[in-house]
């Protein structure tokens, strides 16, 4: 039975407190994405976005947690990833979302790069209150081969 919230199953919560936890987040995202039917390219995009957002949670937020939630809205399957910290917040969100902006130490993608890798992206932050970054991607089907090819 499908839940009205669009969730396909329970959320996995992964603490983020060390570099080792970043690898665990990547592994959990990859496994969940594969189970949901994401193709290899989509899986790689999700893992890349998760890696950047998890590192931001650790480095800038002082640690926190990732919440990885499979989604099913009846028409499509997807993956929701939330990265939550209680750190200092983002002082200038507009600057932080600017292409090419980096505060160093990550993959160089920043928030704007992670945003481009998913279909839905939001940031809830306030100086002194922490940050929650949520990214959602939906399984997209590979187009079938055109007649006469292959």
Asked if 21 and 15 count as a contact pair (C-beta separation under 8 A), the reply is yes
**For the whole model, what pTM was predicted?**
0.84
Q: What integer pLDDT is reported at residue 100 of this predicted model?
A: 67
Dihedral pair phi/psi, residue 72, rounded to 5°: -150, 110
Q: What integer pLDDT is reported at residue 106 of this predicted model?
A: 52
Asked if 9 and 70 count as a contact pair (C-beta separation under 8 A), the reply is yes
Which three-class secondary structure string do you get for the chain? Answer: CCCCCCECCCCEEEEECCHHHHHHHHHHHHHHHHHHCCCHHHHHHHHHHHHHHHHHHHHCCCCEEEEEEEEECCCCEEEEEEEEECCCCCCCHHHHCCCCCCCCCCCCCHHHHHHHCCCEEEEEEECCCEEEEEEEEECCCCCCCCCCCC
Asked if 56 and 84 count as a contact pair (C-beta separation under 8 A), the reply is no
pLDDT in tens, the chain (150 residues): 333 344 456 899 999 999 999 999 999 999 999 999 999 999 999 999 999 999 999 999 999 999 999 999 888 999 999 999 999 998 888 888 877 666 665 555 689 889 999 999 999 998 889 999 999 999 986 555 555 544
Tokens representing 29? 């995202």
């Amino acid at each position: 039975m499908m839940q009205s919230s669009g969730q396909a199953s329970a959320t996995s919560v992964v603490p983020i407190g060390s570099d080792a936890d970043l690898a665990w987040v990547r592994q959990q995202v990859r496994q969940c994405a594969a189970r949901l039917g994401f193709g290899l390219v989509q899986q790689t995009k999700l893992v890349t976005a998760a890696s950047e957002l998890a590192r931001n949670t650790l480095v800038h937020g002082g640690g926190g947690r990732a919440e990885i939630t499979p989604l099913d809205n009846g028409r499509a399957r997807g993956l929701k990833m939330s990265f939550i910290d209680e750190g200092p917040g983002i002082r200038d969100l507009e600057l932080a979302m600017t292409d090419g902006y980096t505060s160093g130490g990550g993959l160089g993608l920043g928030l704007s790069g992670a945003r481009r890798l998913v279909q839905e992206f939001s940031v809830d932050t306030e100086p002194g209150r922490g940050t929650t970054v949520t990214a959602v991607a939906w399984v997209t089907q590979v187009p079938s081969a055109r007649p006469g090819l292959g």
